[in-house]
Amino acid sequence: MSPSPLHINELPDVSTTSSSDSSSEDEVDITERTDIPSSMQPQIERLRLLRTLVAQSSLDNKRDMYAEHQRNHENPQRQRKSDAQKRKAQIQSRRDTLGASYERSRFMEYSIDQVAKYEERKREREDNRERGFTDYAQVNQKKYERDVAKIKPDLAKSKPDLAKCQGEYVDDEKAVTRLAKHVRGQQEKRAKLHKPSVEKEGEHVSYINQKNARFNRKMNRAYDKHTQEIRDNLERGTAL
């Protein structure tokens, strides 16, 4: 009995079989394959390390983005208020726990030098505290004392020994440089605060400073169209 002829439709699809085999191989991660030759193992290990670093970097970036988002949407004033309330609650809890020995425990946390420096700063703040305007002499004296405190002169060296220098006294170059720098800073500060008024030629000056000029311009934009006739009559002298 002769075998029946094989039709072309019954032949196996070689292209489909090969593509399915190749796709199954592609689906397997190269770092998990067992048929990798030993000569490529260092490259495979480096690939694993790079993938780990990429994943960790992506995780860190997401964490930083979330932290920045939180910082941008939080209220600093509310955060400070919450921290102050937490500190107050901790102090109250500690006071309730220790009772009468709470103040003594606070003193144990600071040294004698720290307490002395704190008391000195407290006295300085009390002395420098503004107590209201009395006269310009007191204001100038306060300003002079603040400037001297900023410069921090060496009063012991600033008094010349006339017996040694025989009437010729040379100031310390560092002290002179420090004083000159302070004076230049004061001049720049005054120049920023007191800018000369720039008046246009032919402009009607109806202001005393730049802030008043800006206010007048706003008023003019709002009311000039309603008061133009009245102002013209006042200028001509026919208003009355």
Minimal CA–CA distance to 151: which of 184, 122, 126? 184
pLDDT digits (tens, 9 = 90+) for 129-154: 766 666 788 888 888 888 887 777 77
* Separation CA 192–CA 188 (nearest Å): 6
Q: Which H, E and C letters describe 27-68, residue by residue?
A: HCCCCCCCCCCHHHHHHHHHHHHHHHHHHHHHHHHHHHHHHH
pTM (2 d.p.): 0.31
Higher pLDDT: 87 or 8? It is 87
Structure tokens at 93: 């809890």
Q: In residues, how long is the chain? A: 240
Angle between helix axes 136-151 and 173-193 (nearest 10 degrees) is 130
In this prediction, residue 11 carries a pLDDT of 41
In this prediction, residue 131 carries a pLDDT of 63
Residue 162 has pLDDT above 60, yes or no: no
**What are φ and ψ of residue 153, in 5° steps?**
-75, 155
Higher pLDDT: 64 or 32? It is 64
Please calculate the CA angle 227-232-237 and round it to the nearest 5 degrees: 125
Decide: helix, strand or coil at residue 26: helix
Minimal CA–CA distance to 179: which of 158, 155, 156, 151? 151
Distance between start and end Cα atoms, the chain: 138
Confidence class for position 157, pLDDT limits 50, 70, 90: low
